[in-house]
């Protein structure tokens, strides 16, 4: 994967398959500490210690479409190339947390990519799941919580064309307001 947004998409797809009803995505950019943190947390079925170990093996996958599970190993490698690390925590019946820490300005840090399109894909593709996206840049914050949007829209679905257009604009403007390059 060449963009961090695609790593997020891959991890969220795993959360959805694990039965999550709430997925939290946190991005924290700290220029003073030269750190970029990406954390995805879900309330899905979680993993046993054996499953966690297998998830880090590039030749293991539970997906039927492809025969290798490169997502987490590739994310771990991407973080390590910038002097960072990846952490995977999970317990059965509790959920899973994946956190990757990168050197913010390191030449090998992958670009964020089109996070607005990634979030729209996630939200529209999983209408029964709630998402909280929090993006922080040097103390400024953008927050998108689909629970609040659903409450305001009442019976209008999030995949309605006018709603997806609004969401794209909201995300793009919100990220621009906090000074991210996304």
Q: For residues 87 and 98, is the Cβ–Cβ distance under 8 A?
A: yes
**Residue 25 confidence (pLDDT):** 98
What band does 67 get if pLDDT is binned at 50, 70 and 90? very low
* Confidence tier at 68 by pLDDT (50, 70, 90): very low
Instruction: Return the CATH architecture of domain 4-178.
Output: 2-Layer Sandwich (3.30)
Structure tokens at 149: 């949007």
Please give the average per-residue pLDDT across 103-119, as a whole number.
96
> What is the C-alpha to C-alpha distance for residues 121 and 117, in angstroms, rounded to an integer?
6
Helices (H), 49-155: 49-55, 71-80, 115-125, 146-153
Residue 103: the pLDDT is 97
The model's pLDDT over 31-48, given as tens digits with 9 standing for 90+, comes to: 999 999 999 999 999 999
Q: What percent of the chain has pLDDT over 90?
A: 79
CA 137 and chain centroid, separation: 16
Q: Give the pLDDT of residue 61.
A: 61
Give the residue-averaged pLDDT of 93-104.
97
Task: Quick: pLDDT tens for 152-171.
Answer: 998 888 988 899 999 999 99
pTM for this prediction: 0.91
Is the per-residue pLDDT at 134 higher than 50? yes
pLDDT exceeds 50 at position 179:
yes
| Arithmetic mean of pLDDT, 13-28 | 96
**Mean pLDDT value across residues 174-180:** 94
- pLDDT beyond 90 at 56: no
Beta bridge partners of 55: none
């Amino acid at each position: 994967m060449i963009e961090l947004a695609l790593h997020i998409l891959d991890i969220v797809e795993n959360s959805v398959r694990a039965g999550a009803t709430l997925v939290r995505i946190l991005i924290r950019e700290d220029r003073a500490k030269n750190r970029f943190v990406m954390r995805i947390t879900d309330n899905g079925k979680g993993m046993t210690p054996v499953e966690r170990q297998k998830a880090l093996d590039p030749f293991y996958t539970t997906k039927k479409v492809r025969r290798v599970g490169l997502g987490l190993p590739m994310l771990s490698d991407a973080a390590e190339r910038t002097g960072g690390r990846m952490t995977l925590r999970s317990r059965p019946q509790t959920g899973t947390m994946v956190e990757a820490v990168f050197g913010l300005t390191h030449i090998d840090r992958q670009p964020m990519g089109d996070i607005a399109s990634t979030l729209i894909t996630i939200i529209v593709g999983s209408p029964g799941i709630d998402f909280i996206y929090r993006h922080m840049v040097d103390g400024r914050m953008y927050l998108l919580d689909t629970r609040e949007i659903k409450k305001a829209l009442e019976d209008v679905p999030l995949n309605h064309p006018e709603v997806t257009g609004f969401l794209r604009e909201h995300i793009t403007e919100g990220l621009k307001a906090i000074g991210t390059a996304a």
